[in-house]
Structure 1
Amino acid sequence: MDTNNLADRVVRNGWFKSSVTEMGHDMHTAPENIAKLLGNPITGRAGKRIEPLAPTKQVSANAKSLSVVHGLGSFPIHTDGAHRLQPPRFVVLVCTSPGTSPVPTTLIRFRDLQISESERERLEVAPFLVRNGRRSFYSTICSPSRTFIRFDAGCMMPQGAESEASASLIAHRADEIGFTLVHWRTGDVLVLDNWNVLHGRGLGAAEASNDRKLLRVSVL
Structure 2
Amino acid sequence: MTLKGLLKRDGYVFLREYMKHLTTEEFLRHFKESEGLEQASNIHKLVPAKMKDSTPNTYSGQYGYNDFPMHTDLAHWARPPRYILLRCIKGCSSVSTKLLDGNELVCELGKRRLERTLVKPRRPINGEIPLMRVFQSGTPSLFRWDNSFIIPASPAGKDGVFSIKLKIEEADTKHVYLHQKADSLVIDNWRMLHGRSKITDGYEDRIIERVYLEDKICH
2:52 match: secondary structure: helix
State the alpha-carbon separation in 1 of the partners of residues 100 and 38 from structure 2: 25
Name the residue aligned to 1:83.
76
Is the contact made by 1:127 and 1:163 (CA closer than 8 Å) also made in structure 2?
Answer: yes
1:73 match: secondary structure: coil
Report percent identity of matched pairs. 26
Q: Residue 171 of structure 1: CA displacement?
A: 3.1
Name the residue aligned to 2:8.
11
Give 1:110's aligned amino acid: G
Give 2:188's aligned amino acid: D
Q: 2:148 aligns with which of 121, 132, 154?
A: 154
Distance change (3 Å), C-alpha of 1:83 and 1:8 = same
Structure 2 runs not aligned, ≥5 long: 215-219
Q: How does 1:39-50 map to 2 (within 5 A)?
A: 39-43=37-41, 49-50=42-43
TM-score (norm 2): 0.81
TM-score (norm 1): 0.81
Q: 1:57 aligns with which of 27, 40, 50?
A: 50
Deviations 1:54-112 (A, max 9, x none): 2221122234322221121111111112132211111110011224x832111011122
Name the residue aligned to 2:166.
172
1:103 match: secondary structure: coil
Q: CA RMSD in A?
A: 2.6
State the alpha-carbon separation in 1 of the partners of residues 68 and 79 from structure 2: 22
Give 1:112's aligned amino acid: E
State the alpha-carbon separation in 2 of the partners of residues 29 and 102 from structure 1: 27
2:84 match: secondary structure: strand
State the alpha-carbon separation in 1 of the partners of residues 27 and 55 from structure 2: 23
State the alpha-carbon separation in 1 of the partners of residues 155 and 184 from structure 2: 39
Structure 1 runs not aligned, ≥5 long: 44-48
Q: Is 1:128 the equivalent of 2:119?
A: yes
Q: 104-113 or 130-139, which moves further after superposition?
A: 130-139
Aligned length: 206
2:143 match: secondary structure: coil
Q: How does 1:181-192 map to 2 (within 5 A)?
A: 181-187=175-181, 188-192=183-187
Name the residue aligned to 1:105.
97
Give 2:135's aligned amino acid: C
Deviations 1:134-173 (A, max 9, x none): 1542112112367211111221022355433322322322
Is the contact made by 1:35 and 1:92 (CA closer than 8 Å) also made in structure 2?
Answer: no
